[in-house]
Structure 1
């Protein structure tokens, strides 16, 4: 009886196999997956070193490399070390850096006034890097949160982040950043009207060729914690930022918000955070057609590092797969703390 059952099963299996070509219409998708050369030949999306922007954190002093506990492998660095990092990035082919300052507490106040100092840390860093590595791009964030004593991105008055006064301040700070040599001004504050105000201020100061990369859709996300440690605002923040950042539930509002930035003169758009908002990346690219970028934020970075350290994931493979996801979603580039590591893997042909 057992042999009869086995023979019947084998016969059914053979019959089913003989019908595969009929079922598939002779189309076998695995043919192009069979060999490495054919997989490479038919690959639709590619990640290049040209797609990478490296965010770095700078602090006062000299010869400083200060590890950030929540971001394994990432350091706060003094200006001289930032220059060394810029040289390394240029050697790897990374086209641009994004710089973020961690200034002394005595320089922070309710209005973020130190952001308006022409010789502040962020502008000092730009000048030093541009002098040493003139051909690398410098992207500066013009928000006030590294300079306020309350950790918000704008000026605090009577418990409220005031919009128009903040916009005037960041437009003035943007001019100082351009004066120092910044190539792209990237406002992350999410105040209304800021893109138009910055464009007018830059043009009035003769900086017609300085671009604006708008944080067009910056969401009130839980992914920013390690970044706030890196710039020294995690213990300062009173309340949260939901009165000016986007609600994670609102895709249509995000597109409308980005549309206003486009109308006001944004040259490029950014989505922040990145991976959990790939739908927004695709929507912005398809809707506006501008150069579109995603910021793979600190929480996304730290989750990969934590999983790798625990032995749960292959860190390198996950890193590259997630970077590729941004490209597949329509992004022209990615701000990522993995930039040097990814650039080295790409150079080895593992991109």
Structure 2
């Protein structure tokens, strides 16, 4: 009855799992994953983050087993966030030689040298006020903060970091760090810039995990307005001109259009940050039996690859690596 109708039969390429596999356009691989973790001072500590089931703050004596598991699963890289005991107005713990992040980096490079270690470079976890720089008259002093961020980056590389990932959103942060690294002889260390970082409600669980909630105000004067799209291009362009080697878009899920814009406009690897709030929502729904966690996570991360991400920072990294091995 339909033999004379002229229409395309797209379903021919969906007839079986094998057929769908050979025409699949985007693939999620273990090599695409970056595993974020939180290291805390003390011993014997494994504090699960209440808003992020499955994610814990780990003391130094517990991170080696964690890193060995990550490596065994085939995840090539990690990004480290520190939770110090002591904080002050200028975030001294971020750049001292024996800071918690520096200790963690040295330990990982000694015990699991195959892992690529990325250091998050910011002050907010280390300042008593929770902001990403030095405060004057109730606001973050951009240029004075750059000096401390540059010191932090150099100290992290001296500890063994393979990549520096500055997340503070200060104007000029990439060139300040690039200059400091070059002057210290670290010309081969790449910068994975949080080039496009929105002031987002999706960061709530992370601030619990990193103990970095601002003690006053918010970060809207330095993180981006979620309503803006062209601003992302301007931010990324500045960072590339200043020496960035990777461009991070954070958050990822609600900003896939921005991921595509950055991919289309710049010849640099694009990193999507699947942030804590995105993780927490999925975990909460899965724990209530409302969703198929594995299927949803794989679909979500694949959407980030489809949008143009080359790499994905995700708290689901270990789960995904296991699923990919099934």
Q: TM-score range by the shorter chain?
A: over 0.9
Partner of 2:279: 301
1:85-125, CA deviations, whole angstroms, 9 ceiling, x for partnerless residues?
A: 11111111101000001111xx2111112212111000000
Partner of 1:19: 2
Equivalent runs, 1:160-309 vs 2, <5 Å: 160-234=139-213, 236-309=214-287
Alignment partners' CA distance in 2, 1:231 and 1:38: 45
Partner of 1:63: 44
Partner of 1:329: 307
Partner of 1:7: none
Give the match's secondary structure for 2:57. strand
Q: How far does residue 23 in structure 1 lie from its aligned partner after superposition?
A: 3.4
2:95–2:156 Cα contact (<8 Å) kept: no
2:78 matches 1:97? yes
Partner of 2:114: 135
Tell me how large the CA RMSD over aligned residues is.
Answer: 1.0
2:84–2:93 Cα contact (<8 Å) kept: no
Alignment partners' CA distance in 2, 1:141 and 1:81: 20
Partner of 1:122: 101
User: Which structure dedicates a bigger proportion of its chain to helix?
Assistant: 1
Query: What TM-score comes out, normalization by structure 1 length?
Result: 0.91
Give the match's secondary structure for 2:180. helix
1:208-243, CA deviations, whole angstroms, 9 ceiling, x for partnerless residues?
A: 111100000000000000000001123x53111000
2:37–2:57 Cα contact (<8 Å) kept: yes
Q: 1:20 to 1:233 in 2, by over 3 A?
A: farther
What is the total number of aligned residue pairs between the two structures?
326
Q: How far does residue 21 in structure 1 lie from its aligned partner after superposition?
A: 5.4
Q: 1:247 to 1:19 in 2, by over 3 A?
A: same
Q: How far does residue 62 in structure 1 lie from its aligned partner after superposition?
A: 2.1
Give the match's secondary structure for 2:119. strand
2:193–2:247 Cα contact (<8 Å) kept: yes
Give the match's secondary structure for 1:211. coil
Structure 2 segments unaligned to the other structure (5+ residues): none
Structure 1 segments unaligned to the other structure (5+ residues): 1-17
1:109-154, CA deviations, whole angstroms, 9 ceiling, x for partnerless residues?
A: 1111221211100000000000001111111111100001111111
Q: 1:261 to 1:314 in 2, by over 3 A?
A: same
Partner of 2:15: 34
Q: Work out which of the residue numbers 134, 139, 144 in structure 2 matches 1:155.
A: 134
Give the match's secondary structure for 1:216. strand
Alignment partners' CA distance in 1, 2:45 and 2:84: 14
2:316 matches 1:338? yes
Partner of 1:73: 54
2:256–2:304 Cα contact (<8 Å) kept: yes
2:105–2:160 Cα contact (<8 Å) kept: yes
1:229-287, CA deviations, whole angstroms, 9 ceiling, x for partnerless residues?
A: 001123x5311100000001111011101100000000000000011011111111110
Q: How far does residue 336 in structure 1 lie from its aligned partner after superposition?
A: 0.2
Partner of 1:48: 29
Query: What TM-score comes out, normalization by structure 2 length?
Result: 0.98
Runs of 4+ with >3 A deviation = none
